[in-house]
Amino acid sequence: MATFTHIDSSSRPTMVDVSDKAVTKRTATAQTRVRFPAEVAEALRSQQFNTPKGPVFQTAIIAGTMAAKRTHDLIPFCHPLGIEKCTMAIEMDGDDAVVRCTVSVHHKTGVEMEALTGASVAALTIYDMCKALSHDILIAETRLVEKRGGKSDVG
Amino acid sequence: MATFTHIDSSSRPTMVDVSDKAVTKRTATAQTRVRFPAEVAEALRSQQFNTPKGPVFQTAIIAGTMAAKRTHDLIPFCHPLGIEKCTMAIEMDGDDAVVRCTVSVHHKTGVEMEALTGASVAALTIYDMCKALSHDILIAETRLVEKRGGKSDVG
Amino acid sequence: MATFTHIDSSSRPTMVDVSDKAVTKRTATAQTRVRFPAEVAEALRSQQFNTPKGPVFQTAIIAGTMAAKRTHDLIPFCHPLGIEKCTMAIEMDGDDAVVRCTVSVHHKTGVEMEALTGASVAALTIYDMCKALSHDILIAETRLVEKRGGKSDVG
Amino acid sequence: MATFTHIDSSSRPTMVDVSDKAVTKRTATAQTRVRFPAEVAEALRSQQFNTPKGPVFQTAIIAGTMAAKRTHDLIPFCHPLGIEKCTMAIEMDGDDAVVRCTVSVHHKTGVEMEALTGASVAALTIYDMCKALSHDILIAETRLVEKRGGKSDVG
Amino acid sequence: MATFTHIDSSSRPTMVDVSDKAVTKRTATAQTRVRFPAEVAEALRSQQFNTPKGPVFQTAIIAGTMAAKRTHDLIPFCHPLGIEKCTMAIEMDGDDAVVRCTVSVHHKTGVEMEALTGASVAALTIYDMCKALSHDILIAETRLVEKRGGKSDVG
Amino acid sequence: MATFTHIDSSSRPTMVDVSDKAVTKRTATAQTRVRFPAEVAEALRSQQFNTPKGPVFQTAIIAGTMAAKRTHDLIPFCHPLGIEKCTMAIEMDGDDAVVRCTVSVHHKTGVEMEALTGASVAALTIYDMCKALSHDILIAETRLVEKRGGKSDVG
């Protein structure tokens, strides 16, 4: 069974102390998937993914990038850090928009939450830009794809 | 085919003008699902969902509520509004944690993005609280469950 | 013994639902007190409360006012609200700087947390402006002085 | 008499230039004290410090930690810095809840304001969680307990 | 000579009390002008105003809209308010990009600062998107164009 | 003709990757100019630049400094960075208030946007403090004056 290193008996919430960890280059990539109903996907394609509120994917990339920078302001025990790279790509896969967000930093802690937050807020923005067409849009399968530079690599 | 009312030919992004809409009571409920690998779910259950970073669900509810209040700061064309209610519930369904977020306001525009943002940030926080156990945690199926008080109801 | 109306058995944190409450004019005044060591108070008086970082009280009033506006961003279950008045006054009482902050709004919930937050951040700013002189400065007795317009008045 | 190194004659407010200072490990601990009226303390004890709004101390620790990260956004001339550790503890001492906040960073400037802000916002959150019971709760004696790593140590 | 209604003798900074003012529909339009050196304007035109960082005007409109919503967080004595409309348009006039921002709200105070802040941050974003080409770009003539719904109209 | 190094064919917006750049000391100075109508300038001079809302220039310096710290939160593709110095000076030049903002940091990217944002928000604050006198106040000629420490120097 998976176990945590230690559990404080009083369940006191706390930020992990990273002050004595080494600064290394950390990179993480997260992915999410916005599932459009078929007729919504068709409508969006026929309009080159522009809606009355503007270009869907460009707006989502900007919102996702700004959210990635603010991750520590949203997730209580994420350390504040100055991300050095945030790349977002959105591509259609059938009727799904697949969002990928890669974040890098030289720091004492990883950036998987930054990548996940960037991807999630981009997906929420896609929803917002398209919800006048349908409320049956789903945000599916947000997950970490890759992680480099910490104690253990992923992906 | 679904169609938008109008598309500005220049794809100029823009916030919808709600200034002449009626103030009504708007409510929306969103749901998301955090999928734990079986051994992670078991470890969490055996520790009553406490981790070295603190109680998972209470921390997630607080982060989600704070994010719901800040939705307009994250999603570019969401109107700022003062939510009057934000209720979050998290329950286990098999190895999944199901997050529900209900938001209400009396205003000229709906609160579905607030409910979706609250649920999403709660899910991201659950991920952050548990990621020391595994990076194979997934955030699955974020969607709108119900919406009342606008032009059209959902759910 | 004082009692709460109800306690949710699972200790689930939650924002109070104010959506069906009446909008009334709410006012609250909070007070705090920054206690300077005698020689610090003397140094500040001799410089008309200017330090190398600038005018102490004016800077504190600006910081406190900005913080009062952002109370709901700091205190997890405070409702977001658009304060209509925020008056701050700082006066010396012996070697203490007494900060008073009065906030008003027409809304469904009171503004005592806004007044307390405004006063507290003003006091923290006074500390920051003067800490080059001494770290023995104390922030003492932050409390609600008056509250009008809700279910029960205070003061 | 205590004196400042220099006073700009025009009282122009300004952030201290730390660009040429050395990066060292800085730590600071601040403490505050929330004074409950006796019957409020008793009610809280009988409910294991849970209220209808949720668990008092865990909510306060989360809010305080998030505020410590945002100190430079609240206090005008505090430098932005990425704190590496933020530990909060809350314990009862008679009818008082004593909040301690310790912050660490490797940086060119100290973290006493971060520790004081974290403790203060935790105290304000305790007030907010309990104010349905009484408005006679006081926040008393917020002060710096210890400071290490700068020009001069405290405590 | 123009005069203020009253000056507090102690120069105490303060937010204006609008709590007893009437709610009316307020609208304001601000304009700014980004002046490109001729060869920069030519380069931008030849690339349809896209740069390696993305589409210049769409990015600026999104940033300006988000900043307009946050005006009260930037300007110390601006009242927080929930804007109901924010329209931004950017057009070339010779080698200048002319940014117009119109904001509306039903509230007790005007929205000229929101319009000016939206236009200014859009202009700063244009600068940021294009500065790899030249640092001789100027932001010129930011001003209020029109204001309706308050004590006195402008424009 | 000025050219960009490369244009992504799909106009995908993106933050520049600075993760492999060298940390050097970066400094930038920006300037803006608030143009008062003659009678407004005269009124302000006769009141030593105090208005009913408080001291104009000190309030502007505080707001500008706080905004400089938050530049990356306003401009979508600015990297978050912890500025180490932010000096603001405001002086009258005829009927114009000239705002200068100098920012320094040791980092992988420059601080010209921080200096420009600090100066712009200071100018907006001056406008807000004085707009009760006239809405004919202009913000004119915001520009970069000097830049040191990057690939190429300016000024």
Going by pLDDT thresholds of 50, 70 and 90, the confidence category of residue E3 is low
- At position B112, the amino acid (one-letter code) is E
List CB contacts (< 8 A) between F72 and chain A. 69
**Residue F9, pLDDT above cutoff 50:** no
Residue with tokens 């009913």: F52
Confirm if F130 and F40 have CB atoms less than 8 A apart: yes
Mean pLDDT, chain E, rounded, equals 92
Round to whole Å and give the CA distance between A123 and B143.
Answer: 11
DSSP string, F123-136: HHHHHHHHTTT-S-
Give the pLDDT confidence score for residue D3 in this predicted structure.
Answer: 53
E strand or H helix that includes residue B67: helix B56-69
ipTM: 0.95
- Judge: F25–D13 Cβ closer than 8 Å, yes or no: no
What does each C-alpha distance from F27 to C18, C20, F67, F112 come to in angstroms? Answer: 49, 54, 17, 8
Going by pLDDT thresholds of 50, 70 and 90, the confidence category of residue B143 is very high
B58-106 per-position pLDDT tens digit: 999 999 999 999 999 999 999 999 999 999 999 999 999 999 999 999 9
* Pairing outcome for strands E85-93 and B24-35: unpaired
Give the pLDDT confidence score for residue D150 in this predicted structure.
Answer: 84
Give the pLDDT confidence score for residue F155 in this predicted structure.
Answer: 82
Mean pLDDT, range E27-55, rounded to an integer:
96
DSSP string, E93-121: ETTEEEEEEEEEEEESS--HHHHHHHHHH
- At position C82, the amino acid (one-letter code) is G
What lies within 8 Å, CB to CB, of F129 at 6+ separation is E77, F51, F53, F54, F56, F59, F60
DSSP E11: -
Confirm if D122 and D57 have CB atoms less than 8 A apart: no
Closest Cα partner for D113 from C96, A20, C44, C135? C135
Round to whole Å and give the CA distance between D105 and D86.
Answer: 9
Round to whole Å and give the CA distance between D14 and D27.
Answer: 24
Confirm if A23 and A107 have CB atoms less than 8 A apart: yes
Least confident of A27-41, B141-155, D96-110: B141-155
Going by pLDDT thresholds of 50, 70 and 90, the confidence category of residue A6 is very low
Cα atoms in the 13 Å half-sphere on the side-chain side of C3 = 4
B148 touches chain C (CB under 8 A): no
Residues facing E114 on adjacent strands: none
Give the pLDDT confidence score for residue B6 in this predicted structure.
Answer: 46
Q: Is E69 in a helix, a strand, or coil? A: helix
Going by pLDDT thresholds of 50, 70 and 90, the confidence category of residue A22 is very high
What does each C-alpha distance from B146 to A97, B27, B30, B70 come to in angstroms? Answer: 23, 8, 7, 21
**Residue D1, pLDDT above cutoff 70:** no
- Judge: A84–F17 Cβ closer than 8 Å, yes or no: yes
Calculate the CA B122 to chain-centre distance.
Answer: 7
Mutate to test the interface with E, among F18, F34, F50 (most CBs of E within 10 A): F50
How is residue A72 written in tokens? 């520590």
Mean pLDDT, range A52-80, rounded to an integer:
97
D66 touches chain C (CB under 8 A): yes
Residues facing A89 on adjacent strands: A100
How is residue C59 written in tokens? 């800077």
Give the pLDDT confidence score for residue C152 in this predicted structure.
Answer: 81
**Residue F5, pLDDT above cutoff 70:** no
Round to whole Å and give the CA distance between D49 and D133.
Answer: 12
Backbone angles phi, psi at E100, to 5 degrees: -120, 135
Residue with tokens 């912890």: F82
- Judge: A154–B133 Cβ closer than 8 Å, yes or no: no
Q: Is B11 in a helix, a strand, or coil? A: coil
Give the pLDDT confidence score for residue E6 in this predicted structure.
Answer: 47
Round to whole Å and give the CA distance between D152 and E3.
Answer: 50
Residues facing C142 on adjacent strands: D139
- At position D103, the amino acid (one-letter code) is V
Going by pLDDT thresholds of 50, 70 and 90, the confidence category of residue A150 is confident
E87 touches chain B (CB under 8 A): yes
Give the pLDDT confidence score for residue E99 in this predicted structure.
Answer: 98
Closest Cα partner for C83 from C26, C152, C16, C23? C26
Closest residue in E to C69 (Cα) is E80
- At position A122, the amino acid (one-letter code) is A
How is residue B126 written in tokens? 């659950």
Round to whole Å and give the CA distance between B64 and A34.
Answer: 21
Q: Give the number of other CB atoms < 10 A from CB of residue A27.
A: 21
Confirm if F125 and F64 have CB atoms less than 8 A apart: yes
DSSP B154: B
Residue with tokens 């009727």: A95
Give the pLDDT confidence score for residue B16 in this predicted structure.
Answer: 94
DSSP E70: T
Q: Give the number of other CB atoms < 10 A from CB of residue A87.
A: 18
F76-97 per-position pLDDT tens digit: 999 999 999 999 999 999 999 9
**Residue F12, pLDDT above cutoff 90:** no
Residue with tokens 């913080």: C67
E128 among known catalytic residues: yes
Size of chain B, expressed as the number of residues it contains: 155
D88 touches chain A (CB under 8 A): yes
Give the pLDDT confidence score for residue A2 in this predicted structure.
Answer: 54
Closest residue in C to D147 (Cα) is C135
How many DSSP H helices and E strands does chain B contain?
Answer: 4, 6
All structural domains of chain E, each given as residue ranges with its CATH number in brackets, are 30-148 (3.30.70.640)
DSSP string, B101-138: EEEEEEESS--HHHHHHHHHHHHHHHHHHHTTT-S--E
How is residue B45 written in tokens? 């259950």
**Residue F148, pLDDT above cutoff 80:** yes
B119-128 per-position pLDDT tens digit: 999 999 999 9
Q: Give the number of other CB atoms < 10 A from CB of residue A101.
A: 31
List CB contacts (< 8 A) between C76 and chain D. 59, 62-63, 125
Confirm if D98 and D41 have CB atoms less than 8 A apart: no
Q: Is E130 in a helix, a strand, or coil? A: helix
D18 touches chain B (CB under 8 A): no
- Judge: C13–B58 Cβ closer than 8 Å, yes or no: yes
* Pairing outcome for strands D138-148 and C138-148: antiparallel
Going by pLDDT thresholds of 50, 70 and 90, the confidence category of residue F151 is confident
Give the pLDDT confidence score for residue A153 in this predicted structure.
Answer: 87
Catalytic one of E20, E95, E96, E128: E128
Mean pLDDT, range C137-142, rounded to an integer:
96
List CB contacts (< 8 A) between C59 and chain F. 58, 62
Rg (CA), chain F: 18
E strand or H helix that includes residue C100: strand C96-107
Q: Is E92 in a helix, a strand, or coil? A: strand
Mean pLDDT, chain D, rounded, equals 92
List CB contacts (< 8 A) between A57 and chain F. 12
D18-43 per-position pLDDT tens digit: 999 999 999 999 999 999 999 999 99
What lies within 8 Å, CB to CB, of E131 at 6+ separation is E137, F112, F113
**Residue F153, pLDDT above cutoff 80:** yes
Residue with tokens 């009280």: C57
What lies within 8 Å, CB to CB, of C16 at 6+ separation is C77, C79, C109, D52, D53
Calculate the CA F27 to chain-centre distance.
Answer: 13
What does each C-alpha distance from F8 to E42, E52, F4, F13 come to in angstroms? Answer: 19, 6, 11, 9
Closest Cα partner for B113 from C82, F129, A123? A123
- Judge: C66–E82 Cβ closer than 8 Å, yes or no: no
Cα atoms in the 13 Å half-sphere on the side-chain side of F122 = 36
Going by pLDDT thresholds of 50, 70 and 90, the confidence category of residue A8 is very low
**Residue C11, pLDDT above cutoff 80:** no
Rg (CA), chain E: 18
What does each C-alpha distance from D89 to A10, C79, E84 come to in angstroms? Answer: 11, 26, 43
Give the pLDDT confidence score for residue C6 in this predicted structure.
Answer: 46
Give the pLDDT confidence score for residue D6 in this predicted structure.
Answer: 47
Give the pLDDT confidence score for residue B10 in this predicted structure.
Answer: 54
A55 touches chain E (CB under 8 A): yes
Confirm if D2 and D83 have CB atoms less than 8 A apart: no
Q: Give the number of other CB atoms < 10 A from CB of residue A76.
A: 26
Give the pLDDT confidence score for residue D155 in this predicted structure.
Answer: 82
**Residue D13, pLDDT above cutoff 70:** yes
Least confident of B2-11, C90-99, D131-140, E144-153: B2-11
B17-37 per-position pLDDT tens digit: 999 999 999 999 999 999 999
Q: Give the number of other CB atoms < 10 A from CB of residue F6.
A: 8
DSSP string, chain A: ----S---TT--------TTSPPEEEEEEEEEEEE--HHHHHHHHHTTTEETTEEHHHHHHHHHHHHHHTHHHHSTTPPP---SEEEEEEEEETTEEEEEEEEEEEESS--HHHHHHHHHHHHHHHHHHHTTT-S--EEEEEEEEEEESSSS-B-
Confirm if B101 and A90 have CB atoms less than 8 A apart: no
Closest Cα partner for E87 from B80, F74, A53, B109? A53
Going by pLDDT thresholds of 50, 70 and 90, the confidence category of residue C39 is very high
